[in-house]
């Protein structure tokens, strides 16, 4: 193996062979950033309306809620688990806020209800996966139906409306000029998740579990506890997204946010998170969110329907994952 030719004096083992700057420049997020800039450029050339501040601000609304969930989902997938139920959590959370509204809840109570319902749903998933040892991919398909199903039971074909005016701020308000509350919240959360995954002991544990849960357990990492926390966080972020979305739409229907789970997971995988766990970065997922937002918005300006954008994303998703394997196969052949 490769350690045979190496220096015999162990004291000479350097920390790294390449500079950190070089590592960063060669990384997946850097590549994504280039792609994002190219798309930005293409958009501004293609449509004169693109570079208007208000247009760009509007563009953020179509991805921030999904991107907020993607932050927590990224950590969950790095740890080797997955949560398909996030759109179901949005539905039940939004519905519960609607129920609270019927009992005359004020904005503060609505937010508290939203956050706690999201958290409870996440914890429910967490218990099923970590205490009963069930595979998360099927368990959360089940809870997805269950959560949204409860919304359907409560609402049927009706909807909740008439949320208080102050509640509308979360999804429609601007902090300053064109800077929306949603967008700022997303950036703050992104920084928070970046620190959590890349700068804390907890984040290191998440990576270790994703690489080898057994070795992690054997090294003293409390694997079940970490995974439980990640499910709770994902539920909580789905709760946050539910608050923003409900506020933005001003109403709750049981079909709210349907199909979001797959878009969120696409965002995470496109962001360079290994679907099998063990590697990935929050930066990558944030940039992937911007790419998805820019593509949707740019094509929207050109009157290209949203569904074409999903085709492009699907191709992008497969290509970026296939590319490394294809390249190495090509290299080996030479």
Partner 1 sequence: MSDPKLVLKDITKSFPGVIALNNVSLNLYAGEVTALIGENGAGKSTLVKVLTGIHLPNSGDIIIDGEPVKISSAHDAFECGISAIHQETVLFDELSVAENIYLGHAPKTRFGTINWREMRTKARQVLDDIGAKHIGENTKLSELGIANKHLVAVARAMSIDAQIVIMDEPTAALSHREIEDLFTLIELLKSEGKAILFISHKFDEIYRIADRFAVYRDGEMVGDGSLPETPQSEIIQMMVGRAVNQIYPTRTSQVGDTLLKIDNLNHPTEFADISFELKKGEILGFYGLVGAGRSEVMQALFGITKTSSGTITLDGQIISPKSPADAIQAGIVYVPEERGTQGVVTDMPIFQNVSLPSLRKTSRGNFLKIAEEFALAREYTTRLDLRASSLSQHAGTLSGGNQQKIVIAKWLATNPDVIILDEPTKGIDIGSKAAVHEFMAELVEQGLSVIMVSSELPEIMGMSDRIVVMNEGRIIKIVENDDELTPAKMLVIASGITEDAA
Partner 2 sequence: MNNFIKSREFWLGAAILGIIFGVSLRAPNFVNFANLADIFNNTSMLIILALGQMVVILTRSIDLSMASNLALSGMIVALINAAYPEIPVPVLMIIATFCGLLMGAFNGILVWKLNIPAIVVTLGTLTIFRGTIFLIAGGQWVNAAELSTGFVQMTRHLFIGLPLLSWFAIVIAIGFFIFMTRTSSGRNLYAIGVNPTASVYAGINVGRTKFNSFCIAGALSGFCGFLWVSRYVIGSVEVANGYELTIIAACVIGGISIAGGVGSVVGTILGALFLGIINSALPVINISPFWQMAISGSAIILAVILNGRSANKKGRIILKTSEDSS
Contacts (Cβ under 8 Å, ≥6 apart) of 16: 23
Q: Is 332 in the site for partner 1 (CB under 8 A)?
A: no
Binding span for partner 1 by CB under 8 A among 13-21, 54-62, 103-111, 172-180: 13-21
Pick the binder of partner 1 from 24, 162, 219, 328 (CB under 8 A): 219
252 strand-pairing partners? 160
Question: Is position 329 an interface residue for partner 1 (rule: CB under 8 A)?
Answer: no
Given a contact cutoff of 8 angstroms between Cβ atoms, the answer to whether 60 and 293 are in contact is: yes
Among 14, 104, 133, 305, binds partner 1 (CB under 8 A): 14
Q: Does 104 bind partner 1 (CB under 8 A)?
A: no
> Which stretch, 65-73, 129-137, 183-191, 207-215, contacts partner 2 (CB under 8 A)?
129-137
Look at residue 247 and give the partner it binds from partner 1, partner 2, none, a contact being a CB closer than 5 to 8 Å depending on partner kind. Answer: none
What single-letter DSSP state applies at residue 15? Answer: S
Q: What residues are paired with 179 via a beta bridge?
A: 176
Q: Roughly what angle, to the nearest 10 degrees, separates helices 260-270 and 86-102?
A: 130
Q: Does 54 bind partner 1 (CB under 8 A)?
A: no
Tell whether residue 214 is a contact of partner 1 (CB under 8 A).
yes
Residues 63, 264: Cα–Cα separation, whole Å: 10
- The answer to whether the CB of 267 falls within 8 A of the CB of 292 is yes
The residue among 120 and 146 lying less far from partner 2, judged by its C-beta, is 146
CA distance 274 to 156: 38
**Tokens in use for 117?**
């319902």
Q: How many CB atoms lie within 10 A of CB 278?
A: 18
Per CB under 8 A, does 325 bind partner 1? no
Give the Cα-Cα-Cα angle 287, 291, 293 (nearest 5 degrees).
Answer: 115
Q: Which range, of 8-16, 133-141, 290-298, 305-313, touches partner 1 by CB under 8 A?
A: 8-16
CB of residue 19 to partner 1, shortest distance in Å: 11
Do 122 and 89 contact (CB within 8 A), yes or no? yes
* Distance of closest approach, residue 79 Cβ to partner 2, in angstroms: 16
Measured in degrees and rounded to the nearest 5, phi and psi for residue 47 equal: -135, 130
Q: Which parts of this chain interact with partner 2 (CB under 8 A)?
A: 84, 128, 132-135, 137-139, 141-150, 152-153, 155-157, 254, 258-259, 262, 265-266, 269, 275-276, 305, 307-308, 310-311, 313-315, 317-318, 321-322, 325-326
Q: Which parts of this chain interact with partner 1 (CB under 8 A)?
A: 1-4, 6-8, 10-11, 13-17, 195, 199-205, 207-208, 211-212, 214-222, 278-279
């Amino acid at each position: 193996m490769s350690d045979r030719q190496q220096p015999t004096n162990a004291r000479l083992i350097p920390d790294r062979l390449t500079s950190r700057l070089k590592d960063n420049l060669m990384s997946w997020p850097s590549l994504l950033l280039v792609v994002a800039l190219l798309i930005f450029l293409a958009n501004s050339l293609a449509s004169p309306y693109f570079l208007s501040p208000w247009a760009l601000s509007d563009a953020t609304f179509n991805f921030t809620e999904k991107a907020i969930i993607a932050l927590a989902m990224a950590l969950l997938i790095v740890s080797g688990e997955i949560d398909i139920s996030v759109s179901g959590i949005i539905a039940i959370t939004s519905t519960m806020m609607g129920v609270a509204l019927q009992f005359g809840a004020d904005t503060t109570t609505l937010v508290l209800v939203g956050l706690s319902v999201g958290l409870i749903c996440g914890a429910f998933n967490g218990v099923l996966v970590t205490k009963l040892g069930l595979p998360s991919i099927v368990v959360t398909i089940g809870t997805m139906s269950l959560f949204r199903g409860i919304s359907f039971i409560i609402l049927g074909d009706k909807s909740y409306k008439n949320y208080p005016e102050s509640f509308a701020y979360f999804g429609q308000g601007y902090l300053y000029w064109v800077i929306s509350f949603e967008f700022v919240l997303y950036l703050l959360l992104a920084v928070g998740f970046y620190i959590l995954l890349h700068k804390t002991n907890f984040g290191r544990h998440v990576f270790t579990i994703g690489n080898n849960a057994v070795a992690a357990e054997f090294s003293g990492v409390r694997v079940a506890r970490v995974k439980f926390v990640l499910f709770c966080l994902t539920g909580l972020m789905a709760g946050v997204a539910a608050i923003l979305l409900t506020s933005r739409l001003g109403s709750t229907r049981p079909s709210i946010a349907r199909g979001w789970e797959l878009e969120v997971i696409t965002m995470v995988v496109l962001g360079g998170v290994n679907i099998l766990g063990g590697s990935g970065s929050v930066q990558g997922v944030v940039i992937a969110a911007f790419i998805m937002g820019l593509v949707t918005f740019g094509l929207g300006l050109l009157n290209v329907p949203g569904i074409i954008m999903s085709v492009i994303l699907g191709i992008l998703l497969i290509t970026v994952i296939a590319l490394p394997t294809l390249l190495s196969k090509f290299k080996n052949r030479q």
